[in-house]
Amino acid sequence: MQIEWTKVWAVVITGLVVVFLALVLLIIFVTLFGKIFQSSSKKSNDKKNSTPPAPQKPAPVEVNATKETVASDSEDDNIIAVISAAVAMMAAKDGKNYAVKSIKRAINKSRSSRSVWGAAGQRENTRPF
Amino acid sequence: MGEVLQIFADTLKDLAATSGFASLNWQSCVMILISFVFMYLAIAKKFEPLLLLPIAFGMLLTNLPLTAMYTPDLYADPTNIDFGKILHEGGLLDILYLGVKLQIFPPLIFLGIGTMTDFAPLISNPKSFLLGAAAQAGIFITFIGAAMLGFSEAEAASIAIIGGADGPTAIFVSSKLLGGDATISTGTIALAAYTYMALVPIIQPPIMKALTTKKERLIVMETLRPVGQTEKIIFPIAVTIIIALLIPSAAPLVGMLMLGNLLKESGVCDRLVKTAQNELMNIITIFLGVSVGATTTADKIITPEFAKVIVLGVIAFSIGTAAGLLFGKIMCKVTGGKVNPLIGSAGVSAVPMAARVSQKVGAQENPTNFLLMHAMGPNVAGVIGSAVAAGVLLSIVK
């Protein structure tokens, strides 16, 4: 039995509208609760950062490190410490003094910001078929 | 001695007359050959073998004469099925098919899928929902095509849902809508759906390349934000409430999908997760496949309608892919080039194949570009979208 065309259009329009409506509702909800969680996690991070750090011994190798980009959380501080330590090791070997003036993430817009090894590993794990 | 020989000859004659060989007709032979083709595709070509192989074997069993494992007459009227008669007189596959007809198996498959799905890419980029919604256009535009080809309302809806690229959803809708008087069966729909899902890596790339520019395919997307466990736990509960309140008929599929996901994300139900994604899912897959395959009797396959379903199925997939891509292009323009339109094609829900295709086509242009996680967002949104579309079809089409 053939379908009446009014019914066909009713199914098509209702279907598309309801599917979009349902998923837009989900977008609104997920965006809202995502923002709530992001702001609450930011607050807890800020709290962590506001506690004064324990006094540390000066590093054996003096490296004149000035931070141009301000580290926003403790994770960035750790990365800076690791990079500075690596530079200090190199300075000790060379007998020269290096100064870490700034640490910036290299961004190459034509490729993702991963190391060659990282990219190779990811390619291996995400090889489609 | 002569009498003994006479009895022996008569017995052989009776056996020959009552054997399946005597009842074989050309239709059965053709169907048996078709089942061999699908078995070949499943085993040699690895076309969705976990489901296509049981479906093909169910097709073989149902078309062997006199086996009486599946009796289409018992399910002739979808609004008035005599379940007592099925239990008393039905064969093995009749009884297994109850799980499909009563809409038990597809939601249980969704439970297993839920335990294996990570919604984090979708939670971190909720706009992906739009791509999952856009790709469902394939379903509704194919409904128009099926109506033009003279199919009834129930048949058109069952064919259209192939465009959702989701096997359990297609079986869920078609088993509910199709009766004995229909020119197609749930098995017809399942065969087309699973064959095309296996062909996603062949169907999608030419459409993706035709509808996007090289510049668009080269776009590297920003890294997704990390998603916390609490967000992952709230997500399935919230989706279930919102979708079940909005479209109650989608609740069995979405509810089970989200239950599976909640079991996984809660981190306290490891035993249940293992059962849902392994033993339960595997058992249901066997029951579902072989019983759906049993509905592919000769009168539903050796017909012009089956050829129409095959054509409409590929159209549905292609339109779904194109709609996702075009919406991806719109999002690319609106965001000032931050969205790679290739992830739009993953909005058809064939998980994870459609996302892998996005990754592959993107990597062909720039091998250091990893779109997989970005494409998983629309991909899992497509699963929710096709379940919603199924609910809409079931509530409108009677």
Three-state secondary-structure class, residue B43: helix
- Distance (Å, rounded) from C-alpha A82 to C-alpha A94? 19
Amino acid at the residue A91: A
> Mind giving me the DSSP string for A38-73?
HHHHHHHHHHHHHSPPPP-PPPSS------SSPP-S
Please answer whether residues B206 and B362 qualify as being in contact, where contact means their C-beta atoms are separated by less than 8 angstroms. no
Three-state secondary-structure class, residue B50: helix
Residue A54 has pLDDT above 60, yes or no: no
3-state helix, strand, coil in chain A (%, to 5): 60, 0, 40
- Distance (Å, rounded) from C-alpha B78 to C-alpha A4? 22
Question: Would you call A23 an interface residue with chain B, using a CB distance cutoff of 8 Å?
Answer: yes
Residue A112 has pLDDT above 90, yes or no: no
Please answer whether residues B127 and B347 qualify as being in contact, where contact means their C-beta atoms are separated by less than 8 angstroms. no
The pTM for the full model equals 0.81
Q: How many contacts, defined by CB atoms under 8 Å, are there between A and B?
A: 137
Looking at per-residue pLDDT, the higher value among B283 and A111 belongs to B283
- Distance (Å, rounded) from C-alpha A83 to C-alpha A64? 13
Residue-wise pLDDT for B2-41, tens only, equals: 889 999 999 988 888 888 888 899 999 999 999 999 999 9
Q: pLDDT at position A68, please?
A: 44
Which of B127, B143, B152 comes nearest A12 by C-beta? B143
- Distance (Å, rounded) from C-alpha B255 to C-alpha B241? 9
In terms of Cβ atoms closer than 10 Å to its own Cβ (0-12, 13-18, 19+), residue B25 is: exposed
Pair of tokens at residue B307: 């050829």
Q: Which residue has the tokens 């004469």?
A: B65
Q: pLDDT at position A62, please?
A: 47
Phi-psi map region of B250: left, alpha, beta (phi>0 left; psi -120 to 50 alpha): alpha
Q: Which residue has the tokens 């899992």?
A: B380
What is each CA distance from B258 to B110, B116, B117, B242, B358, in whole angstroms?
A: 8, 11, 10, 12, 25
A23 and B132: CB-CB below 8 Å?
Answer: yes
Please answer whether residues B315 and B77 qualify as being in contact, where contact means their C-beta atoms are separated by less than 8 angstroms. no
Q: pLDDT at position B184, please?
A: 93
CA closest to A1 among chain B residues: B152
Looking at per-residue pLDDT, the higher value among A114 and B275 belongs to B275
Q: Where are the domains of chain B?
A: 28-63+93-396
Contacts for B336 with CB less than 8 Å, ≥ 6 apart: none
A2 and B147: CB-CB below 8 Å?
Answer: yes
Which of B152, B230, B242 comes nearest A29 by C-beta? B242
CA closest to A41 among chain B residues: B228
Q: What is the ipTM of this complex?
A: 0.86
A34 and B218: CB-CB below 8 Å?
Answer: no
Q: pLDDT at position B64, please?
A: 94
Q: Which residue has the tokens 């961004």?
A: A107
Q: Give the model's confidence band at A86: pLDDT under 50 very low, under 70 low, under 90 confident, else very high.
A: confident
Q: Which residue has the tokens 């239709």?
A: B27
Q: Rounded to a whole number, what is the distance in Å from the CA of B359 to chain A's nearest CA?
A: 7
How many CB atoms within 10 Å of residue B279? 11
Q: Is the peptide bond before B352 cis (omega within 30 degrees of 0)?
A: yes
Angle between helices B229-246 and B372-396 (to 10 degrees): 20
Contacts for B338 with CB less than 8 Å, ≥ 6 apart: B219, B221, B222, B332
Residue-wise pLDDT for B294-316, tens only, equals: 999 999 899 999 999 999 999 99
A10: Cα within 13 Å, side-chain hemisphere: 9
Closest CA to B380 of B274, B187, B275, B227: B227
- Distance (Å, rounded) from C-alpha A100 to C-alpha A68? 10
A98: Cα within 13 Å, side-chain hemisphere: 15
Which of B123, B356, B385 comes nearest A23 by C-beta? B385
- Distance (Å, rounded) from C-alpha A20 to C-alpha B301? 35
Q: Rounded to a whole number, what is the distance in Å from the CA of A110 to chain B's nearest CA?
A: 7
Looking at per-residue pLDDT, the higher value among B207 and A3 belongs to B207
Pair of tokens at residue B118: 């990570």
Q: Which residue has the tokens 């033993």?
A: B279
- Distance (Å, rounded) from C-alpha B258 to C-alpha B254? 6
Closest CA to B174 of B254, B101, B277, B68: B101
> Mind giving me the DSSP string for B184-214?
S-HHHHHHHHHHHHHTHHHHHHHHHHHHS-H
Closest CA to B193 of B101, B287, B283, B310: B310
What is each CA distance from B268 to A18, B88, B271, in whole angstroms?
A: 35, 42, 9
Amino acid at the residue B33: L
Q: Which residue has the tokens 């981190």?
A: B267
- Distance (Å, rounded) from C-alpha B196 to C-alpha B190? 10
Mean per-residue pLDDT, A109-116: 60
Q: pLDDT at position A66, please?
A: 45
Amino acid at the residue B374: H
Q: pLDDT at position A106, please?
A: 66
In which residue ranges of chain B is pLDDT below 50?
none
Q: pLDDT at position B239, please?
A: 95
Q: Which of B370, B379, B386 to mutate to test the interface with A (most CBs of A within 10 A)?
A: B370
Q: pLDDT at position A81, please?
A: 86
Q: pLDDT at position B386, please?
A: 94
Please answer whether residues A103 and A80 qualify as being in contact, where contact means their C-beta atoms are separated by less than 8 angstroms. yes
- Distance (Å, rounded) from C-alpha B169 to C-alpha B159? 12
Q: pLDDT at position B308, please?
A: 94
Q: pLDDT at position A69, please?
A: 46
Q: Give the model's confidence band at A56: pLDDT under 50 very low, under 70 low, under 90 confident, else very high.
A: low
B129 and A31: CB-CB below 8 Å?
Answer: no
Q: Which of B47, B139, B140 to mutate to test the interface with A (most CBs of A within 10 A)?
A: B140
- Distance (Å, rounded) from C-alpha B394 to C-alpha B398? 7
Three-state secondary-structure class, residue A32: helix
Residue-wise pLDDT for B240-249, tens only, equals: 999 999 999 9
Q: pLDDT at position A67, please?
A: 44
- Distance (Å, rounded) from C-alpha B354 to C-alpha B344? 10
- Distance (Å, rounded) from C-alpha B224 to C-alpha B238? 21
